[in-house]
Structure formats: C-alpha cells, structure tokens
Structure 1
C-alpha cells in the first residue's frame, strides 16, 4: 500500500537497513537471534535469504514467522539458514478460497512445513481461529491427524490464537474462549501433546505440561515465563520425562525470560 506523507499525523522516517547493517546491529546489541516477521517475510524473500546467510556466518540464529505460502524450491533454499519457524495454517481450502482466492494454499503451506522439518528447522504451527470462518471441528481434526501422521505427537507444537476484530474484519466478533478450548481438546484427543492457547492472557493453556505426568513444567504469562521446572537437559523436574523444547532461561527482575538456543 502507498501512503502519502502529507496524510500522516506523524513524521515518516525510512531507514535503509542492509543485511550487513542488520547483522551489525544485532551483534552490537547482544542479540543472538534475528527474527523475520511483521509483515510477511516471504514478500521480501531475497532480503531475508541474504540476511540469514550473513547472520549464520556471524554466529547468529534466524527465526521466521510466516504464512508459509511459498514454492518448494525457494523454501528448501531458505531452510538451510533458518533455525526456527512459526507457520500460520489459516484454514482449509474453503477458507483460503474465500479470503485470498487461493484454494490450493493449504497444500502449499503444509508442504512448506514438511520441508522446514525435513531440514531440521524447529517448527511450530499457529491457527488464528476466526468465528464462522475456520472454527469447525472437522478442520481441527484434519489438522491434528495430519500432524500426527507426518510428525508424531510431540514434534510440532500447535498454537490456537484468539481473533480480535480489526481492519477489514471489524464486523467479526472476538473468538469465544470456549471455541478455542474445544479446538484444543480436539487436537489433544487426536494425540497431540503440545497445544497452546494464545491471545487469552492468564489462560492455563499458555503453560507447557509434561506429557508423562501432566504437571506444568513451564508457566507463562503472555510472552513472559513465570516458572520453570525443567532440568538442565530439559527433562521434567517431577518425573524425568524428556520435554521437546529448546532453550534456557535467566532471571530478570523476578521474572523468567526465555532465551532460544536452538
């Protein structure tokens, strides 16, 4: 979209951020990871690829948050340099057809997820649940069975996010929490072990639970970690079960913040 500067209520300042400058700033500020997100990074694929390559050479990690709508060959090339990815699986064929005119998009997105995992990228899936659009039980069962069939019960965490009205969907109400909870129940009935609820601050499904003993091993409040019950090798402190998570924490001002290791 184009915006004329005179229509803005604040000064428009654009900065030329080359891959070299991005990596330089990351290192200078003590960042260990560069995240490619907001807006869709596949739109600026070449910049992301160039930056990711340079980041790798400088000992940094790369994380990508994406809609996953990309051809296989460029995804394979990019996956060589990405350490972690969160991919939005937005709905079924009907959903993509109604909103974007791309009924075959789910196939492309699911294939992108497969390619990432085949290349050793830590990959998670997010579904933004929109009332009346992608909140049917059949959709969640299909997703769960696909994940179970391809990756098993613990390899890929799934995040179920609450929708809030905005932009061109202001007429759609916020997602009732009970619908998100029902979706989580369905995914876990199908066998998935790590299913989270997002955009619902304080919900117990923000936490990570041990698949073996059922006790919370990581408690969260939004983006913050408030309790950590894992050993140094990421086993449950209660029963010793190996938790499929990557990272460590350090304490800051009585809060625990999560630091990715990959």
Structure 2
C-alpha cells in the first residue's frame, strides 16, 4: 500500500513562487496533485508551474494578490467551476523585523493585508466550495512566532498568531462539513528570503551570520522547504484524517528545547 497518496486531488497553493510554497507545490505535484499556484510575482510563479509541467505534473499559474478579495474570489471561482477543490495551502506571507517602537503604521498595515487578510480572503473564497464538495483539507502557514516570544518580530508575531487562531476557528466551525484545518509553524527555514536578508544586512559577514542563525536552533541547522512540504503532504493525506485544529511546529526543537 502506498502511503500519503494524494493522486487525483486539486490544491490551491498561495505564494508558490519560491521557498516553502514552491517546495509544497512541487512535492504535491509529484504525489499526483493538480496544482494551482496563486502568486503575485508572475515570473516566479510561472517558473514553478513550468518546472512542474516539465516533470510531467499538472499545474496552472494564477497571478493574484491575496490581499485583494475580489482577485482571490475571481481565481477561486474559475478553478471551482471546472474541478473540486480538495486542498488549500495558505502559504503567502511577508516578513518584518522590528519591535513596537520601530514598527510603523505602514509596516503593520502591510503585514495585516497579506498575512492576515490574505489568509482570510482565501478561506472566505474556498470554504464554500469545500462544503459543496463534501469536505477538504486546509493548512495555514503560521510560525513558531505564533506561540513563543522572538526578539524584534512584533508585527510578524501578531500576524502569525492570527493565522494560528484562524486555524482553530475554521476547524471548529466546519468539522461537521468534513473540512479539516491545521497549521504548520516552522522555525527558521533556509529559503532565498533568508539569504537575501543576510546579504542585505550583513555584507561581508554572510557566512558568519548564516552559521549563527543555524546554531540558534537546537538541531544546529536551519530546516529545508522540502521538510515542510513533507509534513504538508502527510497532513493533507487520508492517513491524517483524524487530525484537525492542531498546530504542528517544525522547528529543530526550538520551542521545547531552547528554554
């Protein structure tokens, strides 16, 4: 018996142009899932979709700003008219470094628009289709910052805390409709964003800072996007059918072992 079989499913994955979203898109496609990448950046989203197609997978790209409800509804309606929507991965997000004194109103609004309203917009658009189809699986991408204090992550922690509590609400409200909703809370994952952040803020010290950030986690390294994608596959599979309303840290031991 093949475990974690998702063949024949359809998934909407936001922020699938790079990093964790790209890895989830590619991993799900390899499991036989038809992928719909919602991505603001056309070039990056197109590359993900083309890569999947070149490897024999099924994928479509939809340029979409998840902070705009009208855009999200239009894309979801287009998908829902031709096929059932089985999976939603709310992965799109933006980051910010700063405490409450250095977080401007503009900073706070930007994170709210994408990390909170963007998740809400996708839930608002997709849940009715899942109800009609007799169920589905939703994963919201939260963060260890949802549950522990991290220095200089005031606005980011706020937004990811909202992703966590939205997960609980959806799981509770739609359990009788066959909709499961969980969230994944990564610690530091080695993505292009991390490399760009280090290069921009620590010129000439890239290797030193990368090593320092890696060793801040008990396992002594950053996680990989593929590891997060593997967890997502499990949570969306039939083998996880008894799991809903749960937060899954993937953190190299950070939450429990860093104290």
Q: TM-score category by the smaller chain?
A: 0.3 to 0.5
Report the TM-score when normalising by structure 2: 0.39
Report the TM-score when normalising by structure 1: 0.39
Query: Which has the larger Rg?
Result: 1
More helix by share: 2
More strand by share: 1
Higher relative contact order (CA 8 A, sep 6+): 2
